[in-house]
Amino acid sequence: MSGTALRDLNTLPASERKSEGSSKGNFTKPFNENINENVDNRQKKNPTSLPSSAINDSEVANAEAEVGVSEVEYIESENLNDLEDVDTRLSTLLVGLDSKDWVLVCEALNNVRRLSIFHRDAMFDKLGNIILLVVKSLKNPRSAVCKTAIMTAEDIFKAYGDHVIDSVDPLLGQLLLKSSQDKRFVCEAAEKALIAMTTYVSPMLLLPKLQPYLKHKNPKVRAKSSKCFCRCMPRLGLEGIKGYGIDKLIHVAAAQLSDQLPESREAARKLLLELQTVYEKVHIFPPAAESEHPEMDSWEHFCQSNLSPLNAQAVLRVTSITREGLLVGS
């Protein structure tokens, strides 16, 4: 790693140097040096061991596990400081994101975050290429790079909203995967990024992107996408749900109602209640009083007309039980 890179990292403002839980690669020692020290120590104890050039992937992973996360600080968005040399940082941003030096990648990711927050318009023309490189970092096996990339995605969603929609597919897929894995701190960061996505990106644009993941082979990915899908409903609103199509949405919810994980089924129940409320506002209150066949406007008839008998029965059971519970509770 170059002396310039080390000087850049060592001159971080004091306000950005937090203990574990903030986001920037502020490193006390380069990762490769730690690996070499560990290998040298093993070789001293066992002279017949392989030379450092023969370190395999598993040894690298083990060495990272020993030193990786403890060497990195993750700075929350509100604690990031502005950049002074914006033009210089912009001109070297793509090179830094595509670097083979993971320390420089983390530095570049944090610069993307700063630019998103303080210089949104200046970075706009590079946004598509930047997102592709953020996706590359999301796939990085080093947890430090991966989590910093996740936090970068969250800040990009907050800054650019609907402008990310043309580049969101690979980003969405990786965030759903990361939110489904076992590393808790990575999983929680990915959840926050997905919440930012459903908060700042228009649901009408986002729902078609989410829908394929509801049939993903990984049940955890299906569950996370179900939660995202459900979170979009309040922002979609009555007119938005009507425009998207209650008949389409009820098929989505009915399919998730029998999914493997409770997380998916709970999201489906919430979605069904939202759809029932909207349907009754549109078709029953007050139009049913003027209808010659009010039973044709009922929620029950709507479910039976649009779903298979088994799915209709399951949906009606969920919505009637939940509705009765709400009435009793009130």
Q: What is the mean pLDDT of residues 214-235?
A: 95
Domain ranges for the chain = 74-201, 238-286+294-329
Collect all residues with Cβ–Cβ distance below 8 Å to 107 and sequence separation of at least 6: 5, 8, 9, 24, 25, 96
Q: Is 40 exposed, middle or buried (0-12, 13-18, 19+ CB in 10 A)?
A: exposed
Nearest C-alpha neighbor of 209 from the set 182, 228, 181: 228
Give residue 211's Cα distance to chain centre.
15
CA–CA separation, 189 and 184 (whole Å): 9
pLDDT score at 264: 95
Question: Two tokens at 36?
Answer: 């070499």
Which of the two residues, 204 and 37, has the higher pLDDT score?
Answer: 204
pLDDT score at 94: 97
- pLDDT reading at 145 higher than 70: yes
Torsion angle of C-alpha atoms 104, 106, 109, 114, degrees rounded to 10:
-100
Global pTM reads 0.76
pLDDT score at 27: 44
pLDDT tens digits, 172-195 = 999 999 999 988 999 999 999 999
Show the DSSP H helices in the chain as ranges: 3-10, 31-45, 57-67, 86-97, 102-118, 120-123, 127-138, 143-160, 168-178, 184-200, 203-210, 219-244, 246-256, 262-283, 287-290, 299-306, 309-329
Cβ atoms within 10 Å, residue 27 = 22
Give the three-class secondary structure for 129: helix
Q: What is the mean pLDDT of residues 313-318?
A: 95
pLDDT score at 61: 45
Q: Where does the pLDDT of residue 291 fall: very low under 50, low under 70, confident under 90, or very high at 90 and above?
A: low
- pLDDT reading at 7 higher than 90: no
Collect all residues with Cβ–Cβ distance below 8 Å to 2 and sequence separation of at least 6: none
Nearest C-alpha neighbor of 165 from the set 133, 108, 127, 134: 127
CA–CA separation, 296 and 227 (whole Å): 31
The one-letter amino acid code at 241 reads I
Computed over every residue of the chain, the mean pLDDT equals 81
Query: What CATH topology corresponds to 74-201?
Result: Leucine-rich Repeat Variant (1.25.10)
